[in-house]
Amino acid sequence: MLDSLISHDPKVLTEKKPDEIIASGVVESLQNFLRKCIIAVLSYGPMPKHIAFIMDGNRRYAKSRSIKQGTGHSVGFAALMASLIYCYEMGVKYITVYAFSIDNFKRDPSEVKTLMELMEEKINELLENKNVINKVNCKINFWGNLDMLPEPVRLAAQKLMASTAENTGLIFSVCMPYNSTSEIANAVTELCKERRDMMQGQQASGRNGRPANGGACSDISVSDLDCHMYTAGCPDPDIVIRTSGETRLSNFLLWQTTFSHLQNPDPLWPEFSWRHLVWAILQYQRAYPYIEQNKDLAKKQL
């Protein structure tokens, strides 16, 4: 089913015999029916609103199969498009992925160049072929320091954001180039600038050069910083999934994941599939009472 959304190769259709087309159609219909049944069962439990993915293992996938390194990322992109559709069908509203860390710029320059070219290619694919975007009515964000990207990649990302800005379905946020330390520093910088401008305005309108409210605007709260995070307006992730069995967050959404259910399934990212996503949600539902209990305790301690 998803192949027709991700790829449009006429050879695939012309090479199939009529009986093969009928058989594949029956299998596809059966898969759709079973998937709907599973989603219906899952929906009796608490469903996540926001899932974040650390897409780890593209390079190891390519190495284990003795294929070009960029091919692993291409297969990973197909897995991402499939996961978007699965999440949409499950009613998940927000999807966030860790696509490229600021620290990744320290890798071999040739590898970074290949990854940037691949990102530009995939972003342009989404601009030209909007089947997946239209199917899930997807709004796409790019979170991070976009000024660090090569100009063609940055312009393509900005164009894609602008073209999906009015969409009201799934919110898909791509973190690149990103790390949580940079996000927090950026939020502090923006908030300090905002408060400085506010105080200067109050001093200009106050008496004897003193702020009209005694300077209370200099106090900074956690909620103030929340408003300046890239994730402002987006709920914190219910689930954070890092593939390939790694347990590190690698400087990803550290501010937002206090009560997230962290999972580290063994499959490499290109191998991540429907069944892994279903299992992730079942694990979340199992841990849900404990997560909510911790949230309630934290609120009481405030």
The residues carrying an active-site annotation are 56
Retrieve residue 40's tokens: 């219906």
Retrieve residue 208's tokens: 């004897």
Sheet holding 239-242, edge to edge: 139-143, 171-175, 94-98, 50-54, 239-242, 261-263
Cα dihedral 60, 63, 69, 74, rounded to 10, equals -60
Reported as half-sphere exposure (CB side, CA atoms, 13 A), residue 92 has a value of 25
CA distance 4 to 15: 15
Q: What are phi and psi of 142, to 5 degrees?
A: -120, 115
Q: What are phi and psi of 240, to 5 degrees?
A: -115, 120
CA distance 50 to 286: 17
Retrieve residue 301's tokens: 């301690």
Q: Do 167 and 139 form a contact (C-beta atoms < 8 A)? A: yes
Residue type at 144?
A: G
Q: Do 98 and 54 form a contact (C-beta atoms < 8 A)? A: yes
Which strand (E) or helix (H) includes residue 288?
helix 274-300
Retrieve residue 284's tokens: 């979340």
The dihedral region occupied by 178, where left means phi > 0, alpha psi between -120 and 50, and beta the remainder, is beta
Q: Comparing C-alpha atoms, which of 243, 247, 246 is closest to residue 271?
A: 243
Can you tell me whether residue 262 is helix, strand or coil? Answer: strand
